[in-house]
Amino acid sequence: MIVYDFVLDEETVLEQVNGDTLAAARKVIAVHINYPSRAAQRGRTPEQPSYFLKPSSSLSLSGGTVERPAGCELLGFEGEIALVIGKAARRVSIEDAWSHVAAVTASNDLGVYDLRYADKGSNLRSKGGDGFTPVGPALIPADAVDPSQLRIRTWHNGDLVQDDTTEDLLFPFARLVADLSQLLTLEEGDMILTGTPAGASVARPGDVLEVEVTTADGGLSTGRLATTVEEGTTPFADFGAQPKADDVQREEAYGSRAAAGLPAEPGAAVGPALSPKLKAKLESVATATLSSQLRKRGLNNVSIDGLQATRPDRKVVGLARTLRYVPNREDLFKTHGGGFNAQKKAIDSVNDGEILVMEARGEKGTGTVGDILALRAQVRGAAAIITDGGVRDFTAVAGLDMPTYFANPHPAVLGRLHIPWDTDITIACGGATVQPGDIIVADADGILVIPPAIAEDLADDCIQQEKEESFIFEMVKQGNSVDGLYPMNAEWQARYNEWAGKTND
């Protein structure tokens, strides 16, 4: 049995992963999908865990480098928690399984998607390269932690890209150990990579990847596992499989077509760019004017109603991004509610100037966004958040520069009544239908949804209408009756044209 010399006191010192640790690992076993957030991203939730082997020669220490093989494009990274087996396990029960784990540490399950096609699912070449499994830098003793209360985070060039906990894993760690032990002996020093949450992506030469595992309270930490990517210079020999990347693998490696810089699938909703010129036009006119011009075009059901604003002094114009909540159902919340769920995905992908619109069914009995996620949206550059549900942490949300439009404050978390379900789809909010790419104009007078195809002409007509109304206002101010003036008859129209010509001069 391996004995690790851990020291746990007020100034906790943990055993560092070293060459002996790597040498003791006869097997490295990795789990395919284990985090609900990753399952949601992949669009599939397995009923049972599935595994693949990585060679022990793929192990490397923290602070090292990894080579992206010459000719490869898609070096994927996946921050993971690694279990280190402390005593042999063969046909152990779930109840006894955790006693066979000596420690946990941080790991990075690296691989080149360019070679996934070559091994019929074994991942040997795509995931088995030298240095493709860095681990460390410290080991946290298994008997000092609750395996359901660990946190995994990954940074890509200093940006936090993965952040999840083990609270709602599809397959808890003890189950993995027990399951594997039914057919093979887990030996002292073997490592099990326990899956990655959503947010895994692609690294390029020069990039720095960091992974850290902590207890949920932050009391114990592995420290950051740092790996720097280098460009390989030795080409593959012509007698073996050659690197081959396509858009399918790019989407898999990056996590989505958008993240990979690929065009949307045919038929997907794509919003046009909101040009600075068009944005300025829409900002210059009142929502009341926009509403009247929309009505002239037969659009009467394009206002999001019943909401209040944290910043009624602000006017915002932006393209809609959408998020839908469905009523909470406990079994579905387990698969869709935790980890990097649709809510967090929407917040973490909103772009500069966009407006995140949430469908909460008008449910006022819980929050749909709180201070941390609202702050994240503001940092991302969001122009506003609009929800027809409640807002949690109201005082903090109201203190942000970014406006939030909401039904009411409420102290409860969204899981009381909602499941974050999906993003960037057609939704209903405050009685209006909103599609991704619709133009939203919001101020103290109301919130309007403008179909992008008519926005340019609509803005021009609004500017013209307000110019006419400025003339009418001035004439009324001078004592003229509104009869024949509002709306203008032919005589007043002629006088307006003369006034407008002078104004333009």
Please indicate if the annotation marks 5 as binding a ligand: no
Report which secondary-structure segment, H or E, holds 257: none
| CA angle, residues 437, 440, 445, in degrees to nearest 5 | 170
Residue with tokens 């220490």: 61
Please indicate if the annotation marks 393 as binding a ligand: yes
Residue 183's Cα: distance from chain center in Å? 37
C-beta of residue 392 within 8 angstroms of C-beta of residue 411: yes
For 173, phi then psi, to 5°, come to -55, -45
Please indicate if the annotation marks 392 as binding a ligand: yes
CA distances from 7 to 15, 136, 221, 224 (A): 8, 17, 13, 19
Please indicate if the annotation marks 448 as binding a ligand: no
Alpha carbons 357 and 424: distance in angstroms, whole number: 10
Residue with tokens 């360019």: 114
List CB contacts of 457: < 8 A, sequence separation 6 or more.
none
Pairing of strands 101-108, 140-141: antiparallel
Report which secondary-structure segment, H or E, holds 278: helix 276-284
Please indicate if the annotation marks 422 as binding a ligand: no
Please indicate if the annotation marks 199 as binding a ligand: no
Residue type, 19: G
C-beta of residue 192 within 8 angstroms of C-beta of residue 102: no
Q: What is the CB neighbour count within 10 angstroms for residue 489?
A: 11
SS3 letters across 312-339: CCCCEEEEEEEEEEEECCHHHHHHHCCC
Name the binding residues for substrate. Answer: 370-373, 392
Name the binding residues for Mg(2+). Answer: 393
Name the binding residues. Answer: 370-373, 392-393
